Structure 1
Amino acid sequence: MGQNLPECGRSTDLEPVCGRPHGVRLDRHGQLIVVDSYLGLYSVDPQTGEKTLLLGNTQGADGVPFAFLNRLEISSQSGVIYFTDSSSRWGRRHVKLEVIELNSLGRLLSFDPASGRVVVLLDSLFMPNGIVLSPDEDFLLLAETSIGRILRFWLRGPKAFTKEVVMDNMIGYPDNIRLSDHGTFLVGITTPRFRRLLPPFLDLIAPYPAVKRFLAKVVPLRCYNAMLPRYGLVLELGLDGEILGTLHDPDGSLTWSISDVFQHRGRTYLGNTDLPFLPVLDQWDG
């Protein structure tokens, strides 16, 4: 999405220059809407590859630039784009620092391509990540990854423009949320919050801000992966947030750190933050 350099993709240090697309959806006109973590919202012609900047990170909203654009969802009724900015401090390549510091520096926003208007719907969020519209588009579900919570933000009805907690103190840290083939919600759990011998690493350090600041300064980001369990987990939720089913890979033999779950024509595709391939399940009954 940014400069096309030979070094792009080899180091996260070049992400601000090369760009890092973090969410992709098709709009009503057959155009790809891409949210780039460092550069902004784009419309991309899937036939020609031509890209058009809709909203830049430097422009931001309410005087605050975007630092970590993450996910998006598009209304099939109005064409409005809903998206998350996970932090106003840390960029995508420093995502682990955002989680460790446990900052409430994220926002949920909307952008109307017709008018060019951007609106802050919610602020002071803990690393807002994946979002999904309900089947009739009367509310959004939103994952707050760093505190293991899922919110519902009402778009219509008597509770319009208010939020409520759907799930809290979750068994793991939610990443993306998607609609299943039959209208339920599928949640990818990037890291479970349990270990066989010790408490979860992030829970262990959560009450100690000084320890977290120290770790953020001295521990290389790549070292944190060794402290996290390799466990694949997906949750299936009903419209009211009740758990309807789960999918487990307890020893990570196929996948772990599940970031996204997408169903299409009977197959389930499992996105991942660590592995260089895409696991595909021919059948999952929940």
Structure 2
Amino acid sequence: ILIEVATVLVLILILPYIPPDINFSKSYIVKPALPLEGKLALNERLNDTVKWHEGEILGPEAFAEYNGEIYTGVNGGDIIKIIGNHITPIAKFGKPCKGLYQEKICGRPLGMVFDKSGLLYVADAYYGIFKVDVKTGKKILLVSMQTEIDGKQPKLPNGIAVSSMGDVYWSDSSTDFYLEDGMFDMFADGTGRLIKYDPKNQMNTVLIDGIHFANGVHLSENEEYVLVAETANSRILRYYLKGPKKGTHDVFLDQLPGLPDNINSDGQGGYFFPLFISRSPDFPFISQILSPFPRLRKLISRLFALPELGLKLIDDFYPNEYAQIGIHLIGHFGASDHLNGVLTPKRTTIIRVSKNGEILESLHSTNLSKVSRISEAFIYKDSLLLGSPFNNYIGRISLKSAGLQHLINSAGTAQKTTTPPTTTTKPPTTTTKPPTTTTKPPTTTTKPPTTTTKPPTTTTKPPTTTTKPPTTTTKPTTTTKPPTTTTTKPTTKTKPPTTTTKPPTTTSKPPTTTSKPTQASTTTTTKPSSTTTKPPATTKKSPSAASTAEPSTRTKTPPSSSKSPSESQPSAAEFQKQDKTKTEL
């Protein structure tokens, strides 16, 4: 019997055309996780997390903030807006579908970020890279799934970031597998890529290739480099956009005690790295144990894929929902979700890291019923929002409860919002006519904000709305309308090249805040009518990533734009029922 079994296994391993019929040739070593000691020592700082909008949404993977409103993408393919207790569908890239097992039809929004003019950029795992006007729902396809980039079509768009110059940096997690078979990519050779899309010539350039499941993407504060999470290898890579190392890349942080997902700012120039799946020196992730053995990885992948092949044959001859559910679950990350805490440590972890890659602190919870499966840690006002591709809620914990009270004053800068302008006692007297009082301040004609009553003597205030427009987005405590009238630049959410924790709005005395405001005011007067489309603080940024290999392919950018329909979609509750059915199957 053993000989017969061995013969069958050998045939499965060597025969062609057995899925996944891809290359398993690389032998590599994943470094063990750092020990949970010192700044990584276990704690329960995430235990006070509350479940916001529980049962109303499913799979809020990532977040973006605009004018104090939260946007996220959910299972079913919708982009939604959250204002307090209200949820509003904004856009959808996919088509109407029956349930989560038709994810390829529904679409699945993953990474998202606003640019400085208030347009939302989204990476949909099945439909490509989009630009969305959240006011109208109009969407424009930038990179389609049929676009060949260095001879390969993308299979899994995931993370995304936008520079001050409009260049789009995005990750293609795999060129072998779609999201519904993403688990297979963890065992295969890495084929992920970090890509730059240039909107001027609609070209895509591969910056880093061979990434083992490329995931979250984030630009540094001054846009000197861009980070990308290499999930399967538990590390973060850095690609240099400026300086002597321009065009090269290195490892920013290695040996993470888990598998990283999205990357977000901590408001002080550093980053949050949530670990979607935990690991430890004594409890490594299974695909990392097998990394030196490509043939064994291939055999295991094929053993799991054979049942999927059988279900596909059944569905071809006798289409049915049960076969489709099985096809969807085999190889999908959602199928392995129930093994969280069984094959992995019972721990949820977020790591805060400096701009130089130094671990500053860590937040944990060993109670998975409190919070688990975290893909995103996003500062919103005085809270930390925790996203997940599977949870039916948004995790929310106050910065104070999480032991992050030292980030409260800089919380706004994580979303490109300076500290609250609580000292602007004069603007309220002129807020009734800010749009029409721009004739007096000749140096701030592009921004008629709340300081127009004293244009000549308060030139240090106008810069607060020109160089740091986000200061009028999330916490405009003294101007109820003007913040929304500057929507051309409210959202440099993820890349605050000049976001500082000392906004010039803290005082009307120019001498104390002239280090940045005066520079901004002198530079913004050169473009009084340009509505500050090129803010002074970011004019130094250039799309220098193009210094790598020349753009290799042209992105087909159909100018197709339409209002995003979200009608005819199953509710979150229905999706959850279907999810239970799939689990039982």
Aligned residue number for residue 15 of structure 2: none
SS of the equivalent of 2:117 reads: coil
1:153-232 alignment runs, 5 A limit: 153-194=239-280, 199-219=284-304, 220-221=330-331, 222-223=335-336, 225-226=338-339, 227-232=343-348
Aligned with residue 263 of structure 1, among 368, 371, 379 = 379
- Bigger RCO (CA 8 Å, 6+ sep): 2
Query: CA, structure 1 residues 21+62, in 2 after alignment: closer, same or farther (shift >3 Å)?
Result: same
Q: Which deviates further from its counterpart, 237-246 or 226-235?
A: 226-235
Asked whether 1:21 is paired with 2:109, we answer: yes
Q: Aligned-residue CA RMSD in angstroms?
A: 1.9
What is the aligned length?
A: 280
Opposite residue 57 of structure 1, the aligned amino acid is: M
Q: Does 2:50 align with 1:50? A: no
- Give 1:205 shift: 3.2
Gaps of 5+ in 2: 1-91, 305-329, 405-585
Distance 2:196 2:236 in 1: 18
| Residue 5 of structure 1, aligned match among 83, 86, 96 | 96
Question: Greater shift after overlay, 257-266 or 235-244?
Answer: 257-266
Tell me, in whole angstroms, the C-alpha distance in 2 between the residues paired with 1:166 and 1:4: 39
Q: Displaced runs of 4+ in structure 1, greater than 4 A?
A: none
- Structure 2 Cα separation of the partners of residues 136 and 199 of structure 1: 35
Deviations 1:81-130 (A, max 9, x none): 100001100111111111122x2201111112232121111111111111
Instruction: Provide the residue aligned with 1:147 in structure 2.
Output: 233
Distance between the aligned counterparts of 1:117 and 1:100, measured in 2? 31
C-alpha displacement of 1:231: 1.8
TM-score (norm 1): 0.91
Which residue pairs with 1:109 in the alignment? 195
Question: In the alignment, what sits opposite 2:553?
Answer: none
Cα distance in 2 for residues equivalent to 1:186 and 1:85: 21
Q: Is 1:254 paired with 2:373?
A: no
The more displaced of 185-194 and 215-224 is 215-224
Equivalent of 1:273 in 389, 403, 417: 389
Deviates more, 1:15-24 or 1:63-72: 15-24
**Which amino acid is the alignment partner of residue 286 of structure 2?**
F
Please tell me whether the aligned partners of residues 149 and 168 of structure 1 are also in contact (alpha carbons under 8 angstroms): yes
Deviations 1:211-255 (A, max 9, x none): 333332334442574233442100000111110010001231311
Equivalent residues of 1:181, 1:264 under 8 A apart: no
Work out whether residues 255 and 272 of structure 1, in 8 Å CA contact, stay in contact via their aligned partners in 2. Answer: no
1:18-68 deviations in Å (ceiling 9; x for gaps): 221111111222111111112111111112212111111111312211111
Q: Which has the higher helix share?
A: 2
Amino acid at match of 2:365: D
Q: Which runs of 5+ in 1 are unaligned?
A: none
The structure whose residues are more often strand, as a share, is 1
1:88 and 1:106 in contact (8 A); partners too = yes
Deviation sequence 1:186-229 (CA, Å, 0-9, x none) = 00101111287x55433333333343333323344425742334
- When residues 181 and 224 of structure 1 are mapped into structure 2, their CA distance, relative to the original with a 3 A threshold, is closer
Mapped to 2, the partners of 1:282 and 1:121 lie a distance apart of 37
Identity %: 29
Aligned to 1:37: 125
Equivalent position amino acid for 1:99 in 2: M
Distance 2:207 2:392 in 1: 35
